[in-house]
Amino acid sequence: MSSYAGFLAYRVKMQPEDFCVEEESTLPIQKHGAFAVYELKKSDWNTVDALLQVQKKFHVPLKLFNYGGKKDRHAFTRQLVTVEDSRDLSFDSDHFSFKRIGCSDRPMIPELIRSNRFRLCVRNILERELPSIESAVSRVNAMGFPNYFDDQRFASYHPVAGFAFLSLFRGDPESALRFTLLSPYGGEKTHAKKRKKAIHDLWGQWKECLDLSQTSMERMVFQELKKRLGASKTKVQKDKVYLETMDRLPREELSMGFSALQSWIFNECLARAIRDKNSHRGGVQTVDIKTKTGDLAFPIRANQEVESWKRCQYHLIGPGQPAIAEGSICEQMRSWEDRLLEILEINRDSLEKRYLRSAFLKSHQRPIWCQPELTMENVRKDSLNNGKLCYDVNFSLPRGAYATMAMKALHLRIKEK
């Protein structure tokens, strides 16, 4: 049985330059091509907002922009963006630079990201805990860590309502729309949360909901529901209205709704499969950590079992998910996936349906393990935290892996035996 582990004292992202991310891609860059290639460097901005500024300045349709992934807002990041436009759209602002560096015959896509290179300054370190961190660097370099999705993936998660899209797969599009629109998110202002709560309590009274609406998205939804829903509508007719209205929400938000649920199921199944290995005599020694969406298990001793996991790729739940080879940890993950769907009251057949035009659930492959090569250097006094130390750490991770999860693995508070 796993025991719970806390964390050694540490802080990251105290300032953008503490968290640097450089995308390493295989996009071919040349002198000529249908796609102009740009280097986007930014700090304290997210990728989409930066591109919206370029789009607004040069009046280029946003659909002509392609990139591999959204980089962290609270960081200094570098990535490639392609634009299907022959003009030079180079642009500098206070928070980002967008510089043309060549052309390509193909657009930038996530699959062209080979890895992301990280350089972090880790702060607020207690001097007495420095030996534990140095030991952890050796441990993580030797055995790696589970490739869990981290909290950033679960912005749409609500501690009471859970994941809004669960309702979609249970045949309840009304609740899916309701919680997608009205669930508060981290950092939202108190008055906005109170307004959402008031609208939530009036749900079904569309005029009253419309009167309380303040955002364009809220007004669109309640104007549509007020116009199209009447007492004479059957459940099938109402469900159609809810789905069509939901389809008008921003595509990115809908895609994240599907991805968040899919990613949480992956995390749960991987954590439970790892704990299974811990429950056997002579098995993998693990500890658990608490996160906002559930407990995650981390092995803390390397053995042959852990070594075998480093080669495993798992297809996340969704249409077209292939069969699993017997005897692997992925087979155990699939078994837990079946049990989890039963607990969630979701039929696998419901996962094969396409509910919305603009976004959908899609199975894709993900390594279950990360094996970074961490380099710890430049231990010094922390200029932002009196009496504490800080250090720099460099490493690369595959596309889709989280540096913040690497930091969790590195700063586990483990009782040495």
Q: What's the sign of the alpha-carbon dihedral 202, 208, 210, 215? A: negative
In the structure encoding, which two tokens stand for residue 168, read together?
């979609």
CB count, 10 Å around CB of 54? 21
In the structure encoding, which two tokens stand for residue 348, read together?
């696998």
Do residues 411 and 7 touch, judged by C-beta distance below 8 A?
yes
Q: How many residues does the chain have?
A: 417
Q: Which residues of 402-416 are buried (b: 16+ CB within 10 A; e: fewer)?
A: bbebbbbbbbbebee
Three-class SS of residue 24?
strand
Q: Which of 18, 72, 150, 382 is catalytic?
A: 72
92 burial via Cβ count (<10 Å: 0-12, 13-18, 19+):
exposed
Measure the CA–CA gap between 269 and 254, rounded to whole angstroms: 23
Measure the CA–CA gap between 14 and 49, rounded to whole angstroms: 21
**Which backbone phi and psi does 412 adopt, to 5 degrees?**
-60, 140
Per DSSP bridges, beta strands 3-4 and 286-291 are parallel
Three-class SS of residue 381?
strand
In the structure encoding, which two tokens stand for residue 382, read together?
């922390």
Q: Of 76, 138, 14, 5, which is closest to residue 388 (Cα–Cα)?
A: 14
First to last CA, the chain: 16
User: ∠139-142-146 over CA atoms, to 5°?
Assistant: 80
Per DSSP bridges, beta strands 113-125 and 19-25 are antiparallel
Residue type, 327: G
Verify whether residue 201 is a known catalytic residue.
no
What residues are annotated to the active site? 72
